[in-house]
Amino acid sequence: MRDDDDEATWRDVLARAPGAAGPLSLYAPLLRGPLVLGRIAQTLDGKIATASGASFWISGPEDILHTHRLRALFDAVLVGAGTVRADDPLLTTRLCSGPSPVRVVLDTERRLGPHHRIFTSGPRTLILCAADRADAPAPGQAEVIGVPRAPGGIDLAAALAALHARDLARVFIEGGGLTVSRFLAAGLLDRLHVTVAPLLLGAGIPAFTLDGVATPKDGRRLDWAVHRLGADVLFDIDLAASPPA
């Protein structure tokens, strides 16, 4: 965990960020202690990208600033290999004051090549993969961490434990939809931020991929607070207050 994990420091980070990206009430629950936050920006019809994978930009500039603020508030930012392959992100803090987090890529089978920007520039990068794939050479300056396998990928609880062992107790799961869905289904998210943009795509990649239920009453009904971010609406969901049925 960062040594400057102090509420006054975080409030200063938020106050010095340009533009308005939600009130302090949105960020106050995120300021202290170990935390795993999932994040999705989706269209009104529940898509995070077109069928071809294009996602720039689903949400507006205020929501993008919000994402950078979240990066500044967390020890680590985690994405799946599909997000790296599709978007080639840097995952650094650029639109507001504050540090860039350690970058973590979930690449179970080590299928990503060394040409992606996350491996060639910027701050520290970790790769979480299956333990039997950990011996392959690391791309660039990345550090490889092998964890046990589980159905559908790697053991996500073990992955978080490996990050915690490296003093990365505050983890921001930035994407993509499959990765956030896996952490959500495993009960490993403390909080979820879902931004809905006033945009319709029709076909596209769904925001969440979860097992279905037989009837609506069998679903998980959530408690949330609502914030406006420019033209978008952000739902701040405290998952501890909305346990599965």
* pLDDT digit string, tens, across residues 6-61: 455 555 655 554 444 456 788 889 988 999 999 999 999 999 999 988 888 899 99
**Cis status, amide bond into 57, omega within 30 of 0:** yes
Instruction: Please determine, for residue 195, whether its predicted confidence score (pLDDT) is greater than 80.
Output: yes
The confidence score (pLDDT) of residue 5 equals: 45
Q: From CA 69, how far away is CA 15, in angstroms rounded?
A: 11
Are the C-beta atoms of residues 65 and 38 closer than 8 Å to each other?
no
Residue 12 lies in a domain: no
φ/ψ (deg, to 5) at 195: -100, 130
Supply the range of the domain harboring residue 150: 37-43+55-200+220-241
Q: What is the mean pLDDT of residues 215-233?
A: 93
Q: Which helix (H) or strand (E) holds 117?
A: helix 117-120
Number of structural domains in the chain: 1
In the numeric block, which tokens belong to residue 172?
A: 């921001």
Q: Is residue 205 part of a domain?
A: no
Residue 236 counted as domain residue:
yes
Percent of the chain, pLDDT > 90?
Answer: 77
Find all residues with CB under 8 Å of 220, minimum gap 6, and list them: 242, 244, 245
- Is position 9 within any domain? no
Cα 75–chain centre separation = 12
Provide the pLDDT for residue 13. 55
- Does 206 map to a domain? no
Residue 213 is assigned to a structural domain of this protein: no
- Residue 18's pLDDT is 44
Burial pattern 194-203, b for ≥16 Cβ within 10 A else e, equals bbbbebebee
Residue 72's CB: how many other CB atoms inside 10 A? 21
Q: Which residues, other chains included, contact 237 with Cβ-Cβ below 8 Å and sequence gap of 6+?
A: 191, 192, 193, 194, 222, 223, 224
Question: Considering the entire predicted model, what is its pTM?
Answer: 0.90
Q: Residues with Cβ < 8 Å from 151, sequence gap 6 or more? A: none
The three-state DSSP-derived secondary structure of 204-234 is: CEECCCCCCCCCHHHCCCCCEEEEEECCEEE
Give 30's DSSP letter. Answer: G
- Residue 207 inside a domain? The answer is no
Chain mean pLDDT for the chain: 90
Which helix (H) or strand (E) is 187 found in, with range? none
Q: What is the domain-level CATH number for residue 60?
A: 3.40.430.10
Cα 100 to Cα 76: distance, rounded to the nearest angstrom: 8
**For residue 145, is it within any domain?**
yes
